[in-house]
Amino acid sequence: MGRYVIRRLLQMIPVFIGSTFLIFFMVYALGDPVAALFGDRAPDPATAQRIRHDLYLDHSLGAQYLHYMKNIFVGDFGTAFNGEAVTSLMGSAFPVTIRLTIVAIIFEIIIGIALGVITGMRRGKPVDTGVLLLTLVVISVPTFVTGYVLQYVFGVRLGWTAPSVSPGAPFNELVLPGLVLALVSLAYVTRLTRTSIAENTRADYVRTAIAKGLPRRRVIVRHLLRNSLIPVVTFIGTDIGALMGGAIVTERIFNIHGVGYQLYQGILRNNAPTVVGFVTVLVLVFLLANLLVDLLYAVLDPRIRYA
């Protein structure tokens, strides 16, 4: 196990370098951060030259990337163009998005798996067909449409929750945004669980468990679920990164000042240090989540042994 973890961590290095370099390339080479500083006006060439030098932008792209990475390892993510350190932006943005993601994941696990088990056990029955159709509709309606409609219905019309979230973003205000963020993934979790359960109900070991006379509940929880949840766990694990990166839309609708909000502002204004810094951290989160998922495999499925 220990050797496996080390091997995986080593494998992460090229992926991490590749992803961050790709983003770095897109932000610094395709866009022009210095021109963006001046908005619509053309910068004075001497000033632009000076800024370029100060920001280490007058070196080759590879050198810039190395310089940036060297700073990251000592915790220096650079300074946003408004003078605020990127790390302090992160300090205020990440807790908010992490809370939002936690709410979304809880929705996915509780509602998604429950619906998946119910429909998987009753394949072809009206409940199954109904839920299945509902998941299709949920998947088909884009997040920004459900977001606005739910905000309008629950926030404006019914007044059950605040239509937009306050800067502190406590958990109770994040319930509706969390649900909106989770909805599409929730539908996928339901369908994945359903398929997996339906496939495994016919497996020999389930028949054996029933034949042994085990109570239905024990068969489902100990035998069926344990095997069926392996693909679901993978999905939810990889979804953590997608949710944190995809929160841009939800955060924009509900005016949540999290990672998505900062990134969106950063991208619109071509604020290169903010964008590259945030994306780097998100990529890291995504990679670690994937590693964690692979390790969870071994816990859930004793057939898998990592040497």
Partner 1 sequence: MPDGNDPLEPVDPGQAIAPGGGYGGGMDLAASDAQALEHPPGTGQDAGGPTGKPRSLWSDAWRDLRRNPVFIISALIILFLVFIAIWPGSITTQDPLKADLARSMDGPAPGHPFGFDSQGRDVYTRMVYGARASVTVGVCATAGVVILGSVLGGLAGFFGGWWDAILSRISDVFFGIPVILGGLVFLSVVTNSTVWPVIGFMVLLGWPQIARIARGSVITARQNDYVQAARALGAGNRRMLVRHIAPNAVAPVIVVGTIALGTYIALEATLSYLGVGLKPPTVSWGIDISDASTEIRDAPHMLLWPAGALSLTVLAFIMLGDAVRDALDPKLR
| Cβ–Cβ < 8 Å for 75, 263 | no
String marking each residue 170-199 x if it binds partner 1 according to CB under 8 A: ----------------------------xx
Among 144, 160, 171, 205, binds partner 1 (CB under 8 A): 144
179 or 198: whose CB is closer to partner 1? 198
Report which secondary-structure segment, H or E, holds 44. Answer: none
Report which secondary-structure segment, H or E, holds 151. Answer: none
Q: How far apart are CA 4 and CA 238, in angstroms?
A: 19
Q: Position of tokens 């998987």?
A: 120
Count of C-beta atoms within a 10 Å radius of residue 142 = 10
State the SS3 of 64-94.
HHHHHHHHHHCCCCCECCCCCEHHHHHHHHH
Among 18, 62, 130, 170, binds partner 1 (CB under 8 A): 18
CB of 245 to partner 1, least distance (A): 2
State the SS3 of 111-139.
HHHHHHHHHHHCCCCHHHHHHHHHHHHHH
CB of 217 to partner 1, least distance (A): 25
50 or 234: whose CB is closer to partner 1? 234
CB of 162 to partner 1, least distance (A): 16
Pure H helices in the chain: 2-25, 33-37, 45-54, 61-73, 86-107, 113-121, 126-140, 143-150, 175-200, 204-211, 216-218, 226-253, 259-268, 272-300
User: According to CB under 8 A, which residues from 194 to 223 bind partner 1?
Assistant: 198-199
Residues in the chain: 307
Determine the interface stretch with partner 1 among 21-29, 41-49, 64-72, 105-113 (rule: CB under 8 A): 21-29
282 binds partner 1 (CB under 8 A): yes
Size of the site for partner 1 (CB under 8 A): 46
Q: Give me 130's structure tokens.
A: 């109904």
String marking each residue 25-44 x if it binds partner 1 according to CB under 8 A: -xx--xx-------------
267 binds partner 1 (CB under 8 A): yes
Q: What single-letter DSSP state applies at residue 258?
A: S
139 binds partner 1 (CB under 8 A): yes
User: Which residues sit at the interface with partner 1, rule CB under 8 A?
Assistant: 11, 14-16, 18-19, 22-23, 26-27, 30-31, 136-137, 139-145, 148-149, 152, 156, 198-199, 241-242, 244-246, 248-249, 252, 263-264, 267-268, 270, 275, 279, 282-283, 286-287
